[in-house]
Structure 1
Amino acid sequence: MDTPKTAKAATGPIRRATLQHSAVAELRAMILEGELPPGSRVPEVQLCEQLGVSRTPLREALRVLAAEGLVELRPHRGAVVTPVDPTDIAAIFQVMEALETLAATLACRNGTEAEFIELDRLHDQLMAQHKAGERAAYSMTNRRIHAWIVAMARNPALETTYSGFAAQILRARSLANYDADRWQESVDEHDGFMAALRSRDAATAGALLAEHSRRTADAVLRSLRQRMGKAAAAEVG
């Protein structure tokens, strides 16, 4: 008689955790894709119906996204999608540049042969997606490559810090519109730092990844400022 009760009791927390995880993923995607734009209030009642969850897992999901910097939890106002401030994004990119440098350096020292083979596979996939013009797939593979390099570093503190900023950088990049020239430049930069990583040249790999991050930051910030300038002009008009 005791065994069924124990199993049933365990089902509740597991289902609740699953619902929270699902809500986090759905809300994050809505923010990153602009369905919930910067500065907008998160419509909790509507989202509970849309996602098929109660208020509890939804609010737990919002706390996770608040920790990622994607939403702000404001007293008496609920959750608001964090506005995108180019100054803040520039500061985060500065930190990410240092983290990318450290990740490349440690990956050269600590990465296994199997991990480098997987990194090569991801790079080949990235090149094929660029050639086919598959921007969404390319973006996803690009994130996997950078995360894989960080994982190869085998430094939990680095990985935690990197992932803490990754969502905010991803949202800024999703709001920015890359032109074809920058996309080609980025591909060429990937070729460069991949060659250094393969040869385990830590100094060169770190320098090239830092430069790649810096050039990405310049492109994203330029696009964001242009976007905000157009929005401000439209409001005045």
Structure 2
Amino acid sequence: LPHTTVSSNVWLLSSENMYSKMKITNIPLTILTFSFLLSSTLSSQSEPTPPTVCIIGSGIGGSSVAHFLRTYSNPSHLHQIRIFERHGVVGGRMATVSISGETFEAGASILHPKNYHALNYTKLLNLKVNEPSSSSFSLGIWDGHKFLFKTLYSNSKLPFIQQIVSAANSILMFVRYGFSLFKMNNFVEGTVDSFLKYYESFESRPVFESVEEMLKWAGLFNLTTRTLQEELVDAGLSYVLIQELVT
């Protein structure tokens, strides 16, 4: 029994000594770990990682956004720009196709003269602007099976012949669509004027927190809640014009 008691006491003393040594040994390690975590936290707060910008689509919108971000952003404030494109080429609807050795526009080929941002972008890229041809205007509406309506066409380059053909086509279109052509023009001009508000008064224009707020400010939000056909019916356009020229 005495031997057992002594052994037990020795074991207890040894355990206490080991625990004390462990505590003494762990103090520097704890201080070192805390210092490392503190320095990492301070460095991450003082030098935040620049954000990565992701752009969906590489059409004229996505490509221009990427270009201007890279050109005018401070490199230390922008880490990387990533563009996600489902097709194998850049350009979106601004694309061309080759058929029998000829190149054709497969998407948008006309820029509205009041689309200032797009026009300035074409100037930046040194793109050539082709003015509308002065030749006689010709129009054909195809429903997939036959022509519903066709205007006159002339290959003559004589100015007075072109004027006669143009006047005859204007009469044909007025007979078919009536005053709806003028109503459609007013509708388009009104929509464009609302869109032009975004170009005006940059300093006084409010900062928008959402796309919905931006559209409501310009008076364009209703166009996103209704079909184009409903809008044109309210504008007074005829059913024939809506079906053949718009929808």
Q: TM-score, normalised by structure 1?
A: 0.22
Larger relative contact order (CA 8 Å, sep ≥ 6): 1
Higher strand proportion: 2
TM-score, structure 2 as length reference: 0.21
Q: State which structure, 1 or 2, has the greater radius of gyration over its C-alpha atoms.
A: 2
